Amino acid sequence: MNMWASVLVFTSLVVSGCLGTPPSSLRLVSILYRHGDRAPTEIYPKDNNQEDKWPNGIGRLTNMGKQEQYELGQYVKARYDGFISTSHYDQNEISIESSSMPRCLDSAYTHLAGLFPPQGDQIWKDDLLWQPIPVQTRPMEEDNKLALRKPCPRYEELFKKMEQKPHFQEEQKRNKKFYDMVRENTGITNKKWTQFVHVADTLICERIHNMTWNDWAYADGVFEKLNNIRLSFFDLFVNTSAMARLQGGPLLKEMLENMQAATKTEKPMPKFYMYSAHDTTVAALLKALHAKERNQLIIYRALVMVELHETNSEFEVKIFYRNDTSADPYPLTPEGCSQPCTLSKLIEITKDTVPKDWDKECKAKFDGSRELPPASWIAFGIAIAFIISSVVICIVWRLRFSNRREKSYSSLPA
């Protein structure tokens, strides 16, 4: 065994000793984590720190982010060692899926490097303790589960409806001078308030990497106000169960279906499901679960663990959230459930956030709040019929008039 292999084994043993052995009741695990540290997704025009300051590329995982995910993989390895074969990657035990955003794919691969360093016959190069492990993904425009980028007109209506609420509109008016100041100093021309979420994100990324901000950003209270605007976005993002149903519902539905399948023994299936995604994905899943987290901040590598246990022939679900790497994960209890929550109870209380037919439910409603009543459809049909009849009558009349004119013209001398 070479030096790096010895270090990895020692680290794993130390962490395993701290976390203990998974309980024998554990039957299935689904984990969702946010990607690691990344470069900002947008840079405002007047920023002193332009793209050349981010060697891996805009929005891409940084070296710090790679290290974070590698360490998270080691944590997961230690926590579930004995439940899954962490000493030897078994493709039949684990399913891995990622948002197709490069930072999430990179996070998945570095996470897996920490979770499944090759050992024994899986070592294919002595000085490279890494092995290729497949990660499934789907095109961004088709992903309603992890990237949350598949078009959903109904969700857009609900979000706009939240923006139109009086208290939000009043807040926008109060912020007008602040918005104007930020636009002037950043060079942003986009009029949407959500653009300031990107400005706050950029400042956060620059601060993490000890970069110097433009002078305006150091003014008293500026960063705090921008960050509050960023947090208000998450307030609106999945503010209601209807919004959570369309954003977090597809992933929760898959998790519940996998847990239901695991209660039966008809066919073999993975017992560990891993999802690499975004802070919005984490927020949407927690809202769909009706699980209140302690704070709104979702750190890089935030980790949600949904465990299925069998105790005395009854299946129970335990949810844990690790949103602070300096502390142990804490349990989350869905509203309406005790801890632990039985699988049947969890299915019952999340009926309002699990879509039956996502594509159908995503169709826009005409008035933004409810579908047209039957009487409106009848009136609409009558109007269309009237228009078609009028067009037909007009065509017939013009044809007759044209024939008469041709007859009169034929009587004239050539």
- List beta partners, residue 275: 32, 97
Q: Could you tell me if residue 7 is inside a domain? A: yes
Q: Which of 90, 111, 143, 279 is catalytic?
A: 279
What pLDDT score does 17 carry? Answer: 42
Residues 18 and 110 in one domain: yes
Q: How many domains does the chain have?
A: 3
Q: Which pLDDT tens digit goes with each residue over 123-158?
A: 999 999 999 999 999 999 999 999 999 999 999 999
Residues 116 and 247 in one domain: yes
Residues 77 and 27 in one domain: yes
Q: End of a domain among 237, 264, 281?
A: 237
Q: Could you tell me if residue 170 is inside a domain? A: yes
This prediction's pTM: 0.84
Q: End of a domain among 191, 210, 237?
A: 237
* Measured distance CA(37)–CA(204) in Å, rounded: 11
Residues 312 and 391 in one domain: no
Q: Could you tell me if residue 369 is inside a domain? A: no
* Domain that residue 405 falls in: 375-414
Contact 358, 249 (CB under 8 A): yes
pLDDT classification of 380: cutoffs 50, 70, 90? low
Q: End of a domain among 202, 221, 237?
A: 237
* Measured distance CA(78)–CA(17) in Å, rounded: 8
Q: Could you tell me if residue 368 is inside a domain? A: no
The question of whether 35 is a catalytic residue gets the answer: yes
pLDDT classification of 406: cutoffs 50, 70, 90? very low
Q: Which pLDDT tens digit goes with each residue over 273-319?
A: 999 999 999 999 999 999 987 667 899 999 999 999 999 989 999 99
Q: Could you tell me if residue 370 is inside a domain? A: no
Residues 345 and 380 in one domain: no
Q: 262 phi and psi, to 5 degrees?
A: -70, -20
Residue 251 pLDDT exceeds 60: yes
* Measured distance CA(96)–CA(94) in Å, rounded: 7
- Tell me how crowded residue 270 is: count the other CB atoms within 10 A of its CB: 19
Q: Which of 35, 278, 290, 309 is catalytic?
A: 35
Percent of the chain with pLDDT strictly greater than 90: 76
